[in-house]
Chain A
Amino acid sequence: MTDMISFLTVGSLLLVVLFLFLRRTIPAPAKIENLSDAHEALNALQSELLPDWFVDRLFSEKDWKFARGHASTHIPSLFDRERKTVALSWLKQTQEHVARLMNFHLRMARQRPDLKPFVEIKLTLEYAQFQLLCKLLAGLIRMVGPIRARSVAGYAVNIATHLGAVSEKALADLNNAVPVNAGD
C-alpha cells in the first residue's frame, strides 16, 4: 500500500514537473499569422508526405526486388543509394512539418481556457516518441537501407498522421472561432 502511494506521488510530481516545463518552454502566444504556416505544414503532410501510396512506393520491396533482378552490381547499388537519399529527405521534411505543427499547437494551447493538461501531456509524449522513432529510422535507413526499415517507417507515419489529425481538429476549432480572413 505504501509502495502504491509513493508510486502515485512520484508519478503525479513528474507530471506536474513536465507540465510546468512545457509551459516554461513555450516562447510566445500563438499569433494569427501562424495559422497559415500551420495550414501549410498540415497540407504538406497530408497530401504529399504521409499518403499511403507515397510511403508504399518509397519503401517498396517490389521495386527493390525488381532492381535486384538485373544481372548487374551497378543497378542495385544505384537503387539503394537513390532510395536512401530520397527516404532521408522525406524523413527530414516530415519531421520539420510535424515540428511546425507541434510548435503551433503548444503556442495555441497556452491560450486555451479549457486546457486539458493530461491530453497535452499525452500529446507531448507522443511527439517525443515520434522524434525518437525518426532518429532510429534515420539511423536504420543509413545502415540497412529504407526497404529493411519500412516497418519502423510505418510506425513513424502512424504517429505523424495522428499528430496531424489532432492539429487538424485544433485548426478547425480555431477557424470556427476566428472570423474568416482575420489576418490569415
Chain B
Amino acid sequence: MLEKVTPGQVEEACEDLKNRTLLSLPGYFGRLIYLASMRDYNTGQYYHDGLAKRFSEVTAAEALAKCHREVFQLLLRSPLEEVVGELERYIGSTPAEAHQLFDTWERLQPYRVAVPSQSSPVLAEFFTSNIKIALAILKHRQSKNS
C-alpha cells in the first residue's frame, strides 16, 4: 500500500532540510546543485538518508523535490546580474580552478541536470540560457583580471 503523505509533513521536512543542510550551502546555485545531486539519474527519485530516517522515505523525497523546485524558481526570477553573482559564489566555493570549470561547463553543460524534472521546456531553456550567459560574463571578467 502506498504511504500517504500530508502537505504538513512535507512542509516540516522541507524546513528541516533548509535549517540543517541548505542554509549552510553557499548561495542558491550551490543549493540547486546539491538538491539535484540528491536525485537518482535513472529513476528521477530523490533520496536523502538522514531526512528519510527523521520522516519517511516518501516524505523526504517529496520535500527534496519541493525544495528543488523552490530554489530553481528563485534563480529563474532573479535578474541576470544576481544569477552571475550566485554562480560566482558557487564557483568560489568549489576546489576546482575557475578556468578549468569554465571550460568543462561550456563543453559538457552539466548544469542542465540541475533542472527539476517537472519543469516546463521553456523554463528549463531559459535557465540554461542564463547560465550560459553568466558563464561567459565570469570568463570575460577573469580574462580581464589575469
Asked if B133 is at the interface of the complex by the 8 Å CB criterion, the answer is yes
Asked if B108 is at the interface of the complex by the 8 Å CB criterion, the answer is no
A83 to B120, CA, bound (A): 17
Chain A residues contacting B133 (CB-CB under 8 Å) are 67, 75, 78-79, 82
Number of A-B contacts (CB under 8 A): 62
Asked if A62 is at the interface of the complex by the 8 Å CB criterion, the answer is yes
| Contact code string A81-112 (vs B, CB < 8 Å = 1, else 0) | 01101100110010000000000000000000
Asked if A63 is at the interface of the complex by the 8 Å CB criterion, the answer is yes
Whether B122 lies near A49 (C-beta < 8 A) is yes
Q: Knowing that A44-B120, A57-B126, A75-B140 are A-B contacts, what are 7 other residue pairs whose CB atoms are under 8 Å apart, sorted by A's residue number?
A: A54-B123, A60-B80, A67-B133, A72-B140, A74-B140, A83-B129, A85-B129
Interface size class of A (residues with CB under 8 A): 20 to 34
Whether A89 lies near B77 (C-beta < 8 A) is no
Whether A93 lies near B122 (C-beta < 8 A) is yes
Asked if B136 is at the interface of the complex by the 8 Å CB criterion, the answer is yes
Asked if A58 is at the interface of the complex by the 8 Å CB criterion, the answer is yes
Asked if B8 is at the interface of the complex by the 8 Å CB criterion, the answer is no
- Identify the 8 closest CB pairs spanning chains A and B, nearest first: A63-B80, A48-B120, A82-B129, A66-B81, A90-B122, A86-B126, A72-B140, A86-B129
- B40 vs chain A, min Cβ distance (A): 25
Contact of B79 among A62, A78, A79 (CB under 8 A): A62
Whether B77 lies near A78 (C-beta < 8 A) is no
Asked if A21 is at the interface of the complex by the 8 Å CB criterion, the answer is no
Whether A54 lies near B76 (C-beta < 8 A) is yes
Given A67-B133, A78-B132, verify A93-B121 contact (CB < 8 Å). yes
Whether A86 lies near B81 (C-beta < 8 A) is no
Chain B residues contacting A44 (CB-CB under 8 Å) are 120
Chain A, 116-149, CB within 8 A of any chain B CB = none
Residue of B nearest to A49 (CB): B122
Whether B140 lies near A57 (C-beta < 8 A) is no
Chain B residues contacting A75 (CB-CB under 8 Å) are 133, 136-137, 140
Q: List 11 A-B contacts (CB under 8 A).
A: A48-B122, A49-B122, A54-B123, A63-B80, A66-B80, A74-B136, A79-B133, A83-B129, A85-B129, A89-B121, A93-B122
Interface centre among B77, B79, B122 (most CB of A within 10 A): B122
Asked if B49 is at the interface of the complex by the 8 Å CB criterion, the answer is no
Chain B residues contacting A71 (CB-CB under 8 Å) are 144
A141 to B80, CA, bound (A): 20
A125 to B10, CA, bound (A): 46
Asked if B103 is at the interface of the complex by the 8 Å CB criterion, the answer is no
Asked if A24 is at the interface of the complex by the 8 Å CB criterion, the answer is no
- A48 vs chain B, min Cβ distance (A): 4
- B73 vs chain A, min Cβ distance (A): 9
Asked if A169 is at the interface of the complex by the 8 Å CB criterion, the answer is no
Contact of B140 among A60, A70, A93 (CB under 8 A): A70
